[in-house]
Structure 1
């Protein structure tokens, strides 16, 4: 397709954190028939990013010509349309990696309606909405209903229903597991993997409690502690290091090749999170053959059978399930192929065709 014939699409991502970055990179790679114009901001300073991105892009977007917009829900799309008349009439797809109604607030944070309203106005200003899970969609709409019920007056009827009619569930595609050059690592049924951020919303303290309970049952295991962590390290990570130092085979962010090898080697991958809208790290590990053990809440009931879920927030239940798997053997792997790139690209192509009016053929997915 000639460049002149390619639809010009603005890709606006105001918070280029890990999952947002993977999504944007995959989208651009998968659809070379689109002339993508990317505007992204670093994944830090959350409150400034979600409220300040129209100022950050004030000059960059001046006079930009495009046929359509794909923006994440961290983008203040309504304000951007007001500041840039050339963007106001463009068809837009507003993509929810998360929503602020269902995001847990940390002990040092103050709950504010501002981030929620950015997403509400952004959704109202877009003709197309997509969410990475049904849980994400439903918790956003339920949160909006609850918010509007608290307002004193002048609330038009049916606002959540209007947005629901525009919404579809469109997960971020999970990249196929990397094909190792030197053969597949031997599966270690006793290797427990943690591959999440070490922050409050992932509840690492519950994971630490479960490991201590597991040890009290006399069970041996090994640990791969991956994922980014703040400085200084959180108390939960320091507890695990002090108590289980001899059992830790990996600790920290590792190169992609080593990361993939650990996914293929681990017997079990654990989540103890208080929030998850899609859970890409769990899906990556599950696609590589690690057995997922997840809270029975959030997006997880959409993805994993009941035998892979434990009561949310219950460290004793998590320890008991780990004990059973380590003692009696691992359950079968979980099939997550419906969430992998090959399965999801046709749905993404339809969404982008609806947005641009152009017929699009996704490129074959690259294997990591």
Structure 2
């Protein structure tokens, strides 16, 4: 990648792993000079609550840096209080997700601390970047609901103060160099490439697959994505109940093998309850899968309406239709026309460089 000489950036990332690491590594690769301070990607809740305290002694005193860049995991306001020398820098915060709409049964169950951290971080920043328009809009539109939880002394004009700083910078996707071969049309291959966590909706996904199996509708499935020591129990149940349909089960270490599986599948499904971009879905679609996703969250921003479902009955009907005629999935994917370039690493890096140049020199 061609490096450019730009204002020196101090990158601070309290959760340096996964998509957070990918973003930082992608952005730093385009810069001649930068400073990077990170914490390992573990114990997210502690990083979010105490990241400023954990980091403030590790950050070198400002030398030639002009811009401070951090993710919204960091409470930027606390850090600036602990390190007043950083206040002179232009401050940019990046939202991979926002805590204001994390799914909870009732508003009273929400731990407001995480939302509070993100709100005051925005107030301390000069520019607030979101990885999708949905992420931005959902954050701004839910500020009032969160602030209403305060018993009194609620701040006024909070939305307008933050909105003026907001921009969208899509997450950079490095597309695989892979040729999409002709897919077999005898049996539908479904792929679910998400983290094995509650907010990705595995219960809903497997409920639909169980119903398909109970009706003797043929399909194959690959359950990919990162798993953890404490996985939702439904995965063990599904592994046994769908043992005849499962052809891949678990995280794939090799990127090449992972992309080969994606390119062999007909359909990629999301049942997410909390999604602001969805790299794994976009990668699968790039590899030739037809996307089926909720008509909610970020998905209407990325995919045509025909790909979106309204409820589980709708998802079941869509999958059943394609299971009975896999050729339809192949044909419908070929008809899709998506602008993959605007999410590419090259496009995102170019936009990032422009943002920091405008911030420093305007």
Q: TM (normalized to structure 2)? A: 0.89
Give how far 1:325 is off.
1.8
**Unmatched tracts of structure 2, length 5 or more:** none
Deviation string, structure 1 residues 108-158 (Cα, Å, up to 9, x no partner): x95211111111111000010111111111111122122233434433431
**Correspondence list, 1:65-104, <5 A:** 65=63, 66-104=65-103
Q: Which residue of structure 2 aligns with residue 344 of structure 1?
A: 348
* Equivalent in 230, 235, 258 of residue 233 of structure 2: 235
Aligned to 1:11: 11
In 1: Cα distance, 2:263 partner to 2:52 partner: 42
In structure 1, the partner of 2:298 is 299
For residues 277 and 50 of structure 2, the distance between their equivalents in structure 1, rounded to whole angstroms, comes to 26
- 8 A Cα contact 1:131 1:170, kept in partner: yes
Q: CA RMSD in A?
A: 2.3
Give the direction of change, closer, same or farther, for the CA distance of 1:325–1:97 in structure 2 (3 Å limit): same
Whole-angstrom distance in 2 between the partners of 1:136 and 1:289: 26
**Counterparts of 1:78 and 1:232 in 2: how far apart (Å)?**
33
1:159 maps to 158
Answering whether residue 250 of structure 2 is matched by residue 248 of structure 1, we say: no
Q: Which runs of 5+ in 1 are unaligned?
A: 359-368
Aligned to 2:58: 60
Determine the structure 1 residue equivalent to 2:119: 120
The 1:56/1:110 distance shift into structure 2, 3 A limit, reads farther
Per the TM alignment, residue 217 of structure 1 is displaced from its structure 2 partner at its CA by 3.3
> 2 CA distance for matches of 1:53 and 1:92?
17
Residues 42 and 346 (structure 1 numbering): CA distance in 2 closer, same or farther, change over 3 Å? Answer: same
* Mapping of residues 1-368 of structure 1, within 5 Å: 6-29=6-29, 31-33=30-32, 35-65=33-63, 66-105=65-104, 111-179=110-178, 184-188=180-184, 190-254=188-252, 255-311=254-310, 314-328=311-325, 329-330=328-329, 331-333=332-334, 334=336, 335-337=338-340, 338-357=342-361
Moved over 6 A (4+): none
Please say if residues 13 and 75 of structure 1, whose CA atoms lie closer than 8 Å, have aligned partners that are also in contact.
yes
Distance 1:113 1:258, change over 3 A: same
Residues 98 and 139, structure 2, Cα contact 8 Å, conserved in 1: yes
CA contact (8 A) 2:26 2:349 kept: no
Deviation at 1:64, TM superposition (A): 4.2
Per the TM alignment, residue 187 of structure 1 is displaced from its structure 2 partner at its CA by 2.5
